[in-house]
Structure 1
Amino acid sequence: MRNSQYLVSLFALATSFLLFRYFTKITPVRVETDSVIYHGVQSKSGKVATFYGVPYAESPLGNRRFRAPVPLKYEPGEGKEKGVLNVRKKSKFCIQSSLNTSGTLGGAGSEECLHLNIYTPRAAVTQKQSEKLPVLVYIHQGAFLGGNPLSWSYEHWVDRFPNTVIVAIYYRLSIFGFLSAPSGEEDAGFDANAGFLDQLEALKWIKKNIGFFGGDNTRITLDGQSAGGASVLLHLLAYGGKQQLFQQAIAQSIYRPGIKTIAETKDHFNFVVEHAQCSKPGFSERDKVDCLRTKEIATLMRAAEAAHRHNPSWLYHPVVDGVIFQDTPTVLMNKGKISHVPILSGETTDETHIQFDNMEKELKRWYPALPQKDVAAFKKLYPESEFANESNATAAAVGEPLFRCASQTLVELMTKRGNRSYMYRFDERNPTDDGWRVNHSAENWWMFQGTNTGKNGTSTLTPFTKPSQERFANELIAYWLSFVHAGDPNAFNLPGVPHWPAWVNGKGPTYRQRMVLAQGKGSTDMTGSFVETKSAKEFDRCHAVNRMASKLRF
């Protein structure tokens, strides 16, 4: 295995590093591509070079609002010299939306946000190493409404394990990235799924340019959590599953709400247009879209949030557009219309998203197209008698379809297609959460040094206080980067951690086995992780739920 001795020694030393979360100023780092020179920054330790806010497409302003991203074109400077970009400062995140979930108006951020953050070992760009490094590309969470890549910073990953290049993608969110015009994009001068197309353009830029930053564009792993996990799945399914922009994928807690067709967004679109004062007698749909392009960000955010208050099922998600996506994700998976790559996927133990202890109300909130008879089928599948109470039954009935079953579907399918795949259950709660549950996104607190995200691109840091916490965080990162390097989470992991078995379909002693990721409770050299067999009831419930994919519209 390439660089194996070097990487193993680095991983063995990982537990001795102190927390590393900040940059100081700053020694410039220079990367020269075919068309431009980038000036980034060097970390305090001297091991990491970071390039903040590297543009990958033209700014989506004016007539480009609601359109597919335009590939970036650099113009040479005077005397046909290469242009120079200073990418040392942290860039603005994309416009955020809260959908008024806590009385907070969205709108923070900037439309000029089609950027990347690139974290690379300094030696990879200053010493011109002949061997290129594997690349991890991260798509952030946030329900396609919010999220700031700076909240999930990767400096400490590269600082501790400096043999990987990591890239984080910014993409348009909420009304700017996922509003749909119901008559179709050509008639309306509109591109559906613009935020997803941003991600796609970013991957094309990475494929073309990451070699200048020390990365190997033939060894790219795509990773994402929640809406990012959904995005990873969508990239595997896009255009009939024929992508060639990455070679492996990590999908964490795949977000799987009900998905609409473009035509089904008509009432939502018209409400937004009316609220933004873009509906006038004689206006065509193109006229309405052109009017929306002239509106201030605050006006559009007020319209977006008013629409959700009017109808909570009106969300800003990818849609079935007949071009990129011919059907909903699970239906396409069930048909095998997917790229075949090695997969690492899983979920947290208790994740769900419920507001009420009423199963029917919650199912209708997330899956409004679900027929009434199938609500009854859910109640039989998740009977209160098999759970502690109605609340727990409802939490499972929502949490499994919404977050927890897609990973099983994905690893079963990839294994069937001959790709080695791995599944996990994350079982360590975020210690800053109230209660006992291992909630959605719990792993992010551990992987990103105590980060909790807030509204409008904000985040707070609650640093680790125990050596065992740092040990567990290093264990997680080592598993993830082992998969990035070798397609196997066992290749370069820490001493003392259990072997993570590949998923096995069919029957046998290793059938349905997955890794349970948990913190060791004793000394810093102990792990709490272990291998389990996924319960037959949960396994069978996920199969039953997936058979209802066309009715759930997920």
Structure 2
Amino acid sequence: MRTRANYVLTRLYFASYDRWSSEASSYLTSAATWMLKSEDLKPTNDDTSSFSPGASRNIMIRHRSALKAGKHQEKVTVHSQKAEPSWLSTNKQRISMLLILAACAAFLQYHFTVSIKNDAAVVDLGYAKYLGNQTTTWPNVVSYLGLPYAEPPVGNQRFRSPLPLNMTRVADEATGQIIDARSYPEFCIQGKLGRGDHGGAGSEDCLKVNVYTPVGVKSNAKLPVLVYIHGGGYVFGNPANWPFEHWIQQSPNVVIVSVYYRLDSLGFLATPEFADGSVGDFNAGFWDQIEALRWVQKHIGKFGGDPTKVTINGESAGGSSIELHLVARSGKEKLFRGAIAQSVFRTPLPTPQQQEPLFSALATQVGCRSANVTDTMACLRSASISALAIAQDNVTEALSGYHAFRPVIDKNVFVDFPTRLIASGAFKNVPLIVGATSNETLANGADIASAARSFFPSLTDDGVQAIEEAYPISSFASEELRQETATGDISVRCARSILASAWDAAHVDVWTYRYNQPDGTSHSPAAAHAAENYMMFRGTHTGVNGTTTFFALNPSEVTFSEELIAYWLSFVRELDPNSHKLARSPIWGQYTSEKRNRIVLNAASDRSNVIKIGGSHVELGDDELERCRVAASLVEQMQN
């Protein structure tokens, strides 16, 4: 009896290790029969009806249902109408073994409905082999989750630009074993959102990427690549909240990468003393993104991707990051060939001198303030993450979340304000999609002057007057709408018109859009900031501290989502959103200074499931462009 049980358990161990569901099921299903055949565990004829292999199979099914319902702690019990037989009372330990096997069967059956064994899901990067995740939900996709692209930014590397991944270290730590990459990693340390939450969730050891590939893709497939940079105001964000399996399932001819990068003070601490690099580095979080793109260039070919066909994409602070990559000084290094910038959050790009008060406040909060910056940095590097998280929360709360740690003009990668660089033509001439939602911001002041000062405290009286004149009350139905238009233009929407005009002047292909579909969880008809994420990422609705809730899309929303994804991936594949759009979707005309085409992305109100183009295809009027030129002229006043 013991020999049989040990044999079964041994086979189960290796079957589960190999994730081979058929073998695991085979041994588990036969376990009860084998054990019952044992001479010293044999029921009488009268007792077989109350406990049989068939009954044990029913137990497994019930337990599997409990697991699927999320009741992982539910007990497995056997109900019998008969009194306990004598043979059972003397062999309870062995029956317990049988029940354990039944429970194992239930677990493994449930587990294997989620994950599929596939030898092709192992990728060999030369320095390490990774096992990806393939599920029955997305059977045409393999997801490699949490692959490191740089050295952990801990200890002396805190507040430093990332070091390239030490492949020898990774290989040594793997000791020849396949590394499990089937679960999302810990996200980067989160900052405070101002929703009654506290920052600090996550891990410092977070410089990872998730790679989504078509199942069975060959290393020489040379598929186009999308690299996604998440938003969150440079304060929060977790790539697991914006998954891409359904994108690959819909279009299995691309490879997609999502990037984790350092946030808040850990990613964007700045003081003038960083200038020579002796005590710290500017824009560490942005350099994380660059290092991730370099990792893609080196290794994406092993996943079937083509490093010469990379498109970068981001929304909000991710869209701001895309703009920064377009103007960043990078020498001859070519990391991408196209860009998609969604709701470009016009993050102020202050100087290190302007960020000095935040540096001092953080050091004081942690108890590290010293006249010697070297001592201050040594103290900050030795401080606990909880102490840093509390300190950056306090600093952010004192200045409001908008005026926090963010990229700075370092005279190295960023030599001037992006608006000026774009106006002068100092940007990467790659095809571009750029757009925003219809209702990016809400009114937050008694009048337009107070709203403008709330967003940009350094505005002079002349600057406020210029904004008031650019947005005369006579042009709006209410003061509230006037405020929403002004703040939405200046903080987000003007990036669309400024970038599009510059790209057209440089004769580079550019497409613009206005996203006009409300978030499915909203009770408002407005298409607010980040509303497109709900449709593009399976009903995601992000919360605090790296969390999200996924809401099921209705059939009309699924159709709309598929059309959006098709436009995006068509651009990734051919640098044109129309080449592989869905047949039912309209042609998305390029933006030009003459026509100023802009597509309105909107689920069909008549439920015909066809995206409608707003009006006559010409939505960008002279008023908006002129207003945005006023905003561009005030760029120096909008940094703090």
Structure 1 length as normaliser, TM-score?
0.90
* CA deviations over 1:218-246 (Å, ceiling 9, x no partner): 10000000000000111111117865100
CA distance in 1, matches of 2:358, 2:283: 15
Which of 375, 379, 393 is the matching residue for 1:291? Answer: 379
Say if 1:468 and 1:522, in contact at 8 Å, map to a contact too. no
* Residue 188 of structure 2 is aligned to residue 94 of structure 1: yes
Corresponding residue SS for 1:116:
strand
Say if 1:133 and 1:216, in contact at 8 Å, map to a contact too. yes
- Following superposition, the deviation at residue 420 of structure 1 comes to 1.1
CA distance in 2, matches of 1:356, 1:513: 33
CA distance in 1, matches of 2:585, 2:446: 39
The aligned counterpart of 1:47 is 140
Say if 2:346 and 2:495, in contact at 8 Å, map to a contact too. yes
* Residue 635 of structure 2 is aligned to residue 541 of structure 1: no
The aligned counterpart of 1:516 is 600
Corresponding residue SS for 2:426:
coil
* 1:333–1:23 distance in 2 versus 1, CA, 3 Å: farther
The aligned counterpart of 1:261 is 351
* CA deviations over 1:480-527 (Å, ceiling 9, x no partner): 11111111111011122111111112x3xxx11111100013345533
* Residue 223 of structure 2 is aligned to residue 133 of structure 1: yes
- Following superposition, the deviation at residue 180 of structure 1 comes to 0.9
Larger Rg: 2
CA distance in 1, matches of 2:605, 2:239: 31
Give the structure with the higher percent helix.
2
Which of 573, 581, 601 is the matching residue for 1:485? Answer: 573
The aligned counterpart of 2:11 is none
CA distance in 2, matches of 1:98, 1:273: 18
**Amino acid in structure 1 at the alignment position of 2:140:** K
The aligned counterpart of 2:126 is 34
CA distance in 2, matches of 1:523, 1:383: 38
- Following superposition, the deviation at residue 309 of structure 1 comes to 2.5
* 1:274–1:160 distance in 2 versus 1, CA, 3 Å: same
Matches within 5 A, 1:378-457: 378-457=467-546
Identity %: 37
CA distance in 1, matches of 2:529, 2:146: 28
Say if 1:520 and 1:529, in contact at 8 Å, map to a contact too. no
* CA deviations over 1:21-58 (Å, ceiling 9, x no partner): x9922325111122221111113142101000010001
The aligned counterpart of 2:22 is none
Which of 250, 254, 273 is the matching residue for 2:340? Answer: 250
CA distance in 2, matches of 1:242, 1:399: 35
Dislocated runs of 4+, deviation >6 Å? 78-81
The aligned counterpart of 2:77 is none
CA distance in 1, matches of 2:565, 2:433: 13
* 1:162–1:250 distance in 2 versus 1, CA, 3 Å: same
The aligned counterpart of 2:204 is 111
CA distance in 1, matches of 2:546, 2:361: 26
Say if 1:235 and 1:243, in contact at 8 Å, map to a contact too. no
Say if 1:40 and 1:51, in contact at 8 Å, map to a contact too. yes
- Following superposition, the deviation at residue 431 of structure 1 comes to 2.5
CA distance in 2, matches of 1:493, 1:344: 15
**Amino acid in structure 2 at the alignment position of 1:274:** T
CA distance in 2, matches of 1:190, 1:85: 33
**Amino acid in structure 2 at the alignment position of 1:43:** T
Corresponding residue SS for 1:264:
helix
**Amino acid in structure 2 at the alignment position of 1:380:** E
CA distance in 2, matches of 1:251, 1:31: 31
CA distance in 1, matches of 2:505, 2:135: 44
Say if 2:310 and 2:338, in contact at 8 Å, map to a contact too. yes
Say if 1:450 and 1:461, in contact at 8 Å, map to a contact too. yes
Say if 2:219 and 2:302, in contact at 8 Å, map to a contact too. no
The aligned counterpart of 1:147 is 237
- Following superposition, the deviation at residue 65 of structure 1 comes to 0.5
The range that moved more, 269-278 or 353-362, is 353-362
CA distance in 2, matches of 1:187, 1:239: 18
Q: Which runs of 5+ in 1 are unaligned?
A: 1-21
CA distance in 2, matches of 1:56, 1:258: 28
Corresponding residue SS for 1:363:
helix
The aligned counterpart of 1:528 is 612
CA distance in 1, matches of 2:113, 2:582: 27
**Amino acid in structure 2 at the alignment position of 1:42:** Q
- Following superposition, the deviation at residue 295 of structure 1 comes to 1.0
The range that moved more, 333-342 or 216-225, is 333-342
* 1:474–1:78 distance in 2 versus 1, CA, 3 Å: closer
Say if 2:317 and 2:347, in contact at 8 Å, map to a contact too. no
* CA deviations over 1:102-159 (Å, ceiling 9, x no partner): 22111111111000000000121xxx26431000000001000001001000000001
Q: Considering only aligned residues, what root-mean-square deviation do their CA atoms show, in Å?
A: 2.1
Corresponding residue SS for 2:132:
strand
Say if 1:188 and 1:289, in contact at 8 Å, map to a contact too. no
CA distance in 2, matches of 1:144, 1:537: 31
- Following superposition, the deviation at residue 215 of structure 1 comes to 0.3
- Following superposition, the deviation at residue 529 of structure 1 comes to 3.8
Q: Which runs of 5+ in 2 are unaligned?
A: 1-111
Which of 202, 214, 221 is the matching residue for 2:311? Answer: 221
Say if 1:68 and 1:197, in contact at 8 Å, map to a contact too. yes
* Residue 300 of structure 2 is aligned to residue 198 of structure 1: no
Which of 139, 154, 162 is the matching residue for 1:69? Answer: 162
Which of 228, 251, 255 is the matching residue for 1:161? Answer: 251
* 1:421–1:314 distance in 2 versus 1, CA, 3 Å: closer
CA distance in 2, matches of 1:27, 1:418: 49
* CA deviations over 1:416-454 (Å, ceiling 9, x no partner): 222211000101111212322110001101101111111
The aligned counterpart of 1:498 is 586
Give the structure with the higher percent strand.
1
- Following superposition, the deviation at residue 533 of structure 1 comes to 2.9
Corresponding residue SS for 1:63:
helix
Say if 2:211 and 2:258, in contact at 8 Å, map to a contact too. yes
Corresponding residue SS for 1:331:
helix
The aligned counterpart of 1:58 is 151
* CA deviations over 1:462-489 (Å, ceiling 9, x no partner): 1112x22111111100011111111111
RCO (CA 8 Å, sep 6+): is it higher in 1 or 2?
Answer: 1
Corresponding residue SS for 2:290:
helix
**Amino acid in structure 2 at the alignment position of 1:550:** E
